[in-house]
Amino acid sequence: MAATATDNKLSNLKSAVAGLNQISENEKKGFINLVSRYLSGEAQHVEWSKIQTPTDEVVVPYESLAPTPDGSSEVKSLLDKLVVLKLNGGLGTTMGCTGPKSVIEVRDGLTFLDLIVIQIENLNSKYGSNVPLLLMNSFNTHDDTQKIIEKYKNSNIQIHTFNQSQYPRLVVDDFLPLPSKGHTGKDGWYPPGHGDVFPSLSNSGKLDALLSQGKEYVFVANSDNLGAIVDLKILNHLVKNKNEYCMEVTPKTLADVKGGTLISYEGRVQLLEIAQVPDEHVSEFKSIEKFKIFNTNNLWVNLKAIKRLVEADALKTEIIPNPKEVDGVKVLQLETAAGAAIRFFDKAIGINVPRSRFLPVKATSDLLLVQSDLYTLEDGFVIRNKARANPENPTVELGPEFKKVSNFLSRFKSIPSIVELDSLKVAGDVWFGPGIILKGKVSIVAKPGVKLEIPDGAVIANKEINGPEDL
């Protein structure tokens, strides 16, 4: 794009954004910054030949970490350096729920947020520490979250909330903000991805407050990842080695081929996402042999380093353009991801963690796994059943009839036993009675117009069922 055309676009956009009184000056500045970077075309191209596989110094095997210190006073002093931050900006809409996703009930009547609070409460009680919980909300989840956290006010845990930025969606045709064209509702705005966590932590005043309390590290994770619990071995390693940033990675399975991976590039550790990969190398990127690990989005970051880099405006992470449509108008939202910031921090590392630290619940198929006998709940931790021999979880594919949580719950009288299951496919008008056991490879696909009821206590092993006659 010619410089003058770009300059015109930017100056028109600046004027329009200046008139948006729903957002702060920091948000306006951050947004204009993001758009000007996007327009300058500073997309980061990776030279394929320069990519190197990281060594064990860069991506540290979890097994090689030193054991946690024995004395509870040493553990307390470690924990007193820590803050836990959960990304809480997402809604439960994809699972048919209203409000923040973190208030979906996961197990035994407890929500994601309940489990997070119980876990940190137990840590603080056990060691006499004071690990606070921060929730980064979006404008979509803020009001509901403020009401929900009231129920934790008597717990031994400080809960702080702050909002990530609110940016206007850009109209593709003329590059002006959608809200300045009469779209004053929520659909004129968007939260710009979790890469915004660092500037928002700073803009909210929370970063300085935490530093003044002697906090040193923040553990950032998605609120729907049940495996993202505080790990003392990781924290101990980072404090000892003065690492400014650590990304937890875990071995890829075939289900994870699109996840970003860590590479060594020009002397620094860097996240490589599928969007950055030249077309001719995409199949190589997806191969489990060459790129064996992927990003869990469990991140440990030094607070002083965040302050230094945010104040220097140095976190110029890759921009992810996300095209959308609002009432027939084509719009663009520019986003960034927190994992991409790894290359700006000193002594940044990955740690290759066990798969148990990555247990996200993105759909009702994941809910089926965590509500089943594959897992138990102890002190707020979801722990895998040792009776299952296979280290990998079964693959579960549920049809659209099960997509919403309410439908899912009504179609299962109780969750079947799946300790010996390899794969499950369910589609059509299928209903499950209580006490069912599924083993091996099971496919239950009801014919159109047929209501298929799986009887109480049925044991189904390595079977394909399409109608009552197959039971």
pLDDT at position 38 is: 92
Q: Distance between CA atoms of 398 and 430, rounded to whole angstroms?
A: 10
Q: For the chain, which ranges sit under pLDDT 50?
A: none
pLDDT at position 366 is: 96
Does 194 appear as a known binding residue?
yes
**Cα 19 from chain centroid (whole Å):** 33
**Cα 209 from chain centroid (whole Å):** 25
Q: Distance between CA atoms of 377 and 389, rounded to whole angstroms?
A: 19
CB-based contacts of 350, cutoff 8 Å, min separation 6? 54, 58, 59, 60, 246, 247, 248, 249, 262, 269, 293
pLDDT at position 3 is: 67
pLDDT at position 239 is: 97
The 10s digit of each residue's pLDDT in 41-67 is 876 678 899 999 999 999 999 999 999
Q: What angle do CA 103, 107, 113 make, to 5 degrees?
A: 30
pLDDT at position 357 is: 96
Instruction: Please report, as a single letter, which amino acid is at residue 238.
Output: L
Instruction: Please report, as a single letter, which amino acid is at residue 261.
Output: T
Query: CB–CB of 398/412 below 8 Å?
Result: no
Does 439 appear as a known binding residue?
no
Q: Distance between CA atoms of 128 and 114, rounded to whole angstroms?
A: 20
Query: CB–CB of 55/334 below 8 Å?
Result: no
Does 224 appear as a known binding residue?
yes
Structure tokens at 451: 């209501």
Q: What angle do CA 100, 105, 110 make, to 5 degrees?
A: 115
The ranges assigned to domains in the chain are 1-357, 364-470
Q: What angle do CA 64, 295, 386 make, to 5 degrees?
A: 60
User: Under CATH, which number does the domain 364-470 receive?
Assistant: 2.160.10.10
Query: CB–CB of 321/37 below 8 Å?
Result: no
Please give the full DSSP string across 53-109, using - where no structure is assigned.
---TTTEEEGGGSPPPPSSHHHHHHHHTTEEEEEEE--BSGGGT--SBGGGSEEETT
pLDDT at position 392 is: 87
CATH homologous superfamily of 1-357 equals Spore Coat Polysaccharide Biosynthesis Protein SpsA; Chain A (3.90.550.10)
pLDDT at position 296 is: 96
Q: Distance between CA atoms of 96 and 403, rounded to whole angstroms?
A: 7
The 10s digit of each residue's pLDDT in 382-435 is 999 999 999 889 999 999 999 999 999 999 999 999 999 999 999 999 999 999
How big is the chain by its Cα radius of gyration, in Å?
A: 24
The 10s digit of each residue's pLDDT in 353-388 is 999 999 999 999 999 999 999 999 998 999 999 999
In 317-436, DSSP assigns E strands to: 320-326, 329-335, 349-352, 375-378, 381-384, 395-398, 421-427, 430-432
Q: Distance between CA atoms of 325 and 169, rounded to whole angstroms?
A: 10
Give the distance between the most distant pair of CA atoms in the chain. Answer: 72
The CA distances from residue 390 to 294, 351, 385, 393, 421, in Å, are 21, 23, 11, 7, 9
pTM beyond 0.85, yes or no: yes
Query: CB–CB of 259/271 below 8 Å?
Result: no
The residues pairing with 263 across neighbouring beta strands, listed in sequence order, are: 270
Structure tokens at 268: 């620094």
Scanning the structure block, which residue is given the tokens 């996840």?
259
Query: CB–CB of 347/242 below 8 Å?
Result: yes
- Kindly tell me the burial class for residue 242, based on how many C-beta atoms sit within 10 Å of its own C-beta (0-12, 13-18, 19 or more): exposed
Structure tokens at 266: 């020009």
Does 164 appear as a known binding residue?
yes
